[in-house]
Chains A and B, each alone.
Chain A
Amino acid sequence: MEPLIFEWSRSQRHNSQHHPVGAAATENGAGSLEAALRPFLRQQPPPLPEVSELDVVRHFTRLSQQNFSVDTHFYPLGSCTMKYNPRICNTMAMLPGFLQRHPLSSTATGQGVMACLYELQEMLCNLTGMAAVSLTPMAGAQGEFAGVAMIRAYHQARGDGNRTEMLIPDAAHGTNPATATLCGFTVREIPTDGSGNVQLEALQAAVGPNTAGLMLTNPSTLGVFERHIRQIAQIIHAAGGLLYYDGANLNAIAGRIRPGDMGFDAIHLNVHKTFATPHGGGGPGAGPVGVAERLRPFLPVPMVGRQPTGSYIWLTEQECPQTIGRLSAFYGNIGVLIRAYAYLRLTGAAGMRRVADYATLNANYLMARLTQAGFQTAFPARRATHEFIITLKAEARQVGVTALDFAKRLLDYGFYAPTIYFPMLVPECLLIEPTETESKETLDRFVEAMIAIRQEAMSNPQWLRDAPHAIPVPGGGCSRLDDTLAARKPDLRWQPQP
């Protein structure tokens, strides 16, 4: 294990190239500072490490090498769309003209970035079939918040205040019910039928004058296309509710099928999924929202508008008095949006359609190969979308190895593990999403690893229960980590030995 940075620390070692030297500060912490400031001063310096720049560069370089990432390993994490993040998008977003601009400087100094954002709004409208888009949400979950808050604002603006219930399929992402609660709705779960569709009878029975809307992912989290989407839209709209689209799985359909054509009123997109911006070890993402015409007045601000002269302006509360409001201190994660814009310009319409085609081809091919190898899929009668589910309940029953054991052993083979235990409806499940950027050879190697692991499970199940054994990172990594201990005795920061 790489020591903690604090263990490299030596008193008085510092990097004077990175801070001002001279009169401003002295040993006693006050020095030439105004006397008026003294009562507000910190008495003890903050306990930060004192390390050289080379220590820092080596430490964090070594830490980076302890990670699996798309750049180093196949990362088939279902519902997360871990595709290649084109390097050019990063290089362009890091141009000084973009990086150095202050958010509150005038729009005259921002016409370049605002042109990108305006065009991104337009492209996302066309791609999704929605009437208008706001780019400001900073992640998918915040986009969801914006979408559900707009549905709430819509009903309120119509004096329809009794619509207090949000319908959510039981297979939905956890963010959906969490968001609905945050927006003040009560959540009502709708069951899924045996082939992965929403149960229409249950939906019909659930809707009524209290229905605010339905939150739906399509293709669903079960890796299948919701075939009855038009009927679902009819049922919800007839009851006076609105339809919300969770765009987590847009990669399966982008350029081929548009949420707007399916009847959705509000959608969010995850640009770190479909539009290849990096996941960054857990963000930053961006979660633009799109709406049908009737929700346009409620979109979160600011947005970019274009004047007849061709110059770009920010649309704020002044221009959009019915907006649900601001979601960030400034304009959202603009640096991320620039990467998404660059990606969309590289792919164009034909490229986006190929994304959906090859993401779907890869998933179906992988599913077919694994089925041939004897693995059980959750919905064998259905066509996979961009992802699919394997259930290991037979293996669990037979030899007592779990989806978690499989996942950990895959790490030894140099593959990041698929999403496990989600959706919760399918026991011992692996949700596998290869994405379009992986080659046939990589998929074939993954199949071989899965076959080999199953053989190991049959001959020596304990070997899997003890996995991982030798993760291919420098130093061999660690063996299985104890989550229970971590939660029982939380150790959330380093403290010096007394």
Chain B
Amino acid sequence: MPFIPHTANDTQEMLAVLEIDHLETLFEEVPPELLHPDQIDLPEPLGEMALARLMRERASQDERGLLCFTGGGAYEHHIPAAIWEIASRGEFYSAYTPYQAEASQGTLQVLYEYQTMMAGLTAMEVVNASLYDGATALGEAILMAVRAKPDCARRVLLPATLHPHYRQVVQTLLNGQEIEIVPLPFCNTGGHTVPESLHHHPARSFAALVIPQPNFFGILEEVHALTNWAHQQGGLVIGLVNPLSLGLLQPPGLWGDQGADIACGDGQPLGIPLSSGGPYFGFMGCKQAYLRQMPGRIAGRTKDKQGKEGFVLTLQAREQHIRRAKATSNICTNQGLMTVAATLYLSLLGPEGLHRTAAACHANTADLARQMQTVAGLSCLFDRPFFHEIVLQLPCPAPPILARLEQLGISGGIALAPYDGLLRDCLLVCATETRTPADNSRFAHTLKTLLAEEKGHGTSDF
């Protein structure tokens, strides 16, 4: 039987120990009307050979070899081969949350190293062992900030430059909590949140200000001014950051005079494949003062009975299995294996590799911007510094152009009109370190051809 080792003889011997004759008797306590009378309607079982054939067909259907200029919260990066060779080892892959620390030192030491690396990268004092993804990490950060600031109104300032899906997830998570989300407008020319535009929010009228860096449009926010202003008003600052960008950019722990209070984001850029959107992982760090408000697992270093160092899950009094209805979150299983991959990634890249990768992302996107601006009818919508994404203004709606680009082998970015009516005919594009000037040139030339065709046809097709 697939994955069940019992021989007929084993089954008979085991039933004999139970003094019963049939497996059905095991379900004798179940009211008979609940036992499903026949086989449940599922496809016939496949052998491994047939399954592999089916799955290869499905996967190859999706294997287009597209040249990827699409970002928007998930990015194509080089993933060193060693990462998934090691992370897929059965000892990591098939273990569980390290409840028995002495038999889980591998996972626990990786988590401790992960926390150390992420704390260094974000310049935060403490980091947890992961959350589900960047969007839920932001939701948890907001809940945490509201708990930590009982003297402030239950409101959170959320810039419109935040990833729209993140805003939707935050809304879902906060729905039951009577926390008001206050949207902040962005500057039409800069694509950023203007610090002076917030001055009408009085002190203690909000628990936290969220600062996405880079923001959804790829633009860099005025993090120092925003952080200082929020702190002057008595609120906390939540920095939502791309961890890979921190090889190059100021870490949230050093924003303004006091640094962000909570940093979070999505760890996908650190060695996690795109995989249609998941599994990725969320990360979260904070100042020491807020440690006991932080959700999720945390690994700590301690000593064993002989005084030797070892690792355990710690500060569990925050968590649902101890605190139940009073826990900091309901999170239990998180994204453990993804943090193993990220720890491998950060170890292989090191400070030099991460810096050069982040710098190459920026340089390639700058090159893409230059090349695109030579195409008639195309311009960059915003004039402020960016990290590795830019918004292109097209002379026509983006979706049909994207469909044509895809037919020509290019994943050409994200049409922004569905997210914001003001961003009509806008396209969010990204060039990571995996792109070359030749790739950029191919993208620009293809777009040029399509726009010329489009101009020839007039706009009636759209």
Contacts and interface: CB of A to CB of B under 8 A. Distances in A.
B42 A127 contact: yes
Contacts of B356: 19-21, 24-25
Given A69-B93, A104-B74, 13 more contacts: A60-B347, A97-B61, A112-B58, A141-B330, A181-B327, A183-B175, A280-B92, A284-B334, A342-B55, A346-B45, A350-B39, A361-B6, A483-B314
A67 B42 CA distance: 36
A5 B350 CA distance: 11
Given A18-B78, A51-B347, A416-B103, A283 B333 contact: yes
Contacts of A391: none
A40 B304 CA distance: 44
A128 B354 CA distance: 46
B315 A490 contact: yes
The 3 closest A-B pairs by CB, nearest first: A330-B277, A71-B90, A184-B176
Nearest to B334: A283
Interface string B58-98: 11111110101010111010101010111011111111111
B152 interface: no
16 contacts: A5-B347, A24-B356, A40-B250, A46-B351, A48-B120, A48-B347, A104-B72, A112-B59, A141-B330, A227-B31, A326-B135, A327-B173, A333-B279, A411-B100, A439-B5, A482-B302
- The listed residue with most B CB atoms (<10 A of its CB), out of A2, A24, A279, is A24
Given A479-B306, A492-B115, A282 B333 contact: yes
Nearest to A408: B102
A46 B51 contact: no
Contacts of B102: 408, 411, 468, 471, 477-481
A365 B94 contact: no
Interface string A17-51: 01111011100010111101100111101111111
Contacts of A111: 61-62
Contacts of B266: 329
B291 to A, nearest CB: 7
Nearest to B128: A492
B76 A281 contact: no
Contacts of A338: 55
A347 to B, nearest CB: 6
B363 A23 contact: yes
A348 B254 CA distance: 55
A360 B30 CA distance: 13
B136 A86 contact: no
Contacts of B351: 45-48, 50
A85 interface: yes
A224 B29 contact: yes
Interface string A448-479: 00000000000000000010100101000111
Interface stretch (A235-243, A252-260, A392-400): A252-260
Contacts of A281: 92-93, 95-98, 104, 107, 110, 336-337, 340
A325 B175 contact: yes
Contacts of B103: 67-68, 73, 411, 416-417, 468, 471, 473, 477
B250 to A, nearest CB: 5
A250 interface: no
Contacts of A354: 1, 4
Q: Which of B68, B103, B254 has the most CB of A within 10 A?
A: B103
Given A5-B347, A342-B51, A325 B169 contact: yes
Interface in A57-91: 57, 59-61, 63-73, 75, 77, 80, 82-86, 88, 90-91
Interface residues of A, number: 203
B349 interface: yes
Given A24-B359, A141-B330, A346-B51, A18 B109 contact: no
B306 A324 contact: no
A72 B90 contact: yes
B120 A225 contact: no
Interface in B387-441: 402-403, 406, 411, 414, 433
B62 A98 contact: yes
A132 interface: no
A229 B277 contact: no
Interface string B111-126: 0110111011100001
B165 A326 contact: yes
Nearest to B11: A361
Given A48-B347, A335-B279, A490 B291 contact: yes
Interface residues of B, number: 197
A66 B109 contact: yes
Interface stretch (A142-150, A200-208, A288-296): A142-150
Nearest to B121: A46
Given A80-B96, A330-B74, A345-B51, A180 B325 contact: yes
A104 B276 CA distance: 8
B452 interface: no
Given A187-B325, A329-B134, A329-B169, A348 B46 contact: yes
A140 interface: yes
B86 A64 contact: yes
B459 interface: no
A440 B14 contact: yes
Interface in B301-356: 301-306, 308-312, 314-317, 319-327, 329-338, 340, 343-344, 346-356
A174 B95 CA distance: 21
B171 interface: yes
A284 B337 contact: yes
Nearest to B178: A184
B300 interface: yes
A257 B29 contact: no
Contact of A46 (B63, B120, B126): B120
A279 B95 contact: yes
Nearest to B74: A103
A365 B17 contact: yes
Contact of B43 (A43, A334, A345): A345
A361 B5 CA distance: 12
B383 to A, nearest CB: 9
B104 to A, nearest CB: 6
Interface in B124-138: 126-127, 129-130, 132-136
Q: Please indicate which of the listed interface residues B96, B173, B385 has the most CB atoms of chain A within 10 Å of its own CB.
A: B96
Interface in B5-22: 5-6, 10-11, 13-15, 17-18
Nearest to A414: B103
Contacts of B366: 34
Interface string A395-429: 00000000000011001000011010010000000
A4 interface: yes
B269 interface: no
Contacts of B30: 225, 227, 257
A109 B4 contact: no
Contacts of B402: 106
A438 B3 CA distance: 9
B246 A18 contact: no
A70 B363 CA distance: 45
A353 B36 CA distance: 10
Interface string A354-371: 110110111011001100
B48 interface: yes
B26 A109 contact: no
B180 interface: no
B18 A368 contact: yes
B105 interface: yes
Contact of A110 (B76, B95, B276, B310): B276
Q: Which of B113, B120, B325, B362 has the most chain A CB atoms inside 10 A of its CB?
A: B325
A357 B26 CA distance: 8
Contacts of A65: 91, 106
A6 B351 CA distance: 12
B277 A328 contact: yes
Given A144-B330, A284-B281, A480-B102, A57 B325 contact: no
A67 to B, nearest CB: 4
A282 B297 contact: yes
Nearest to B340: A281
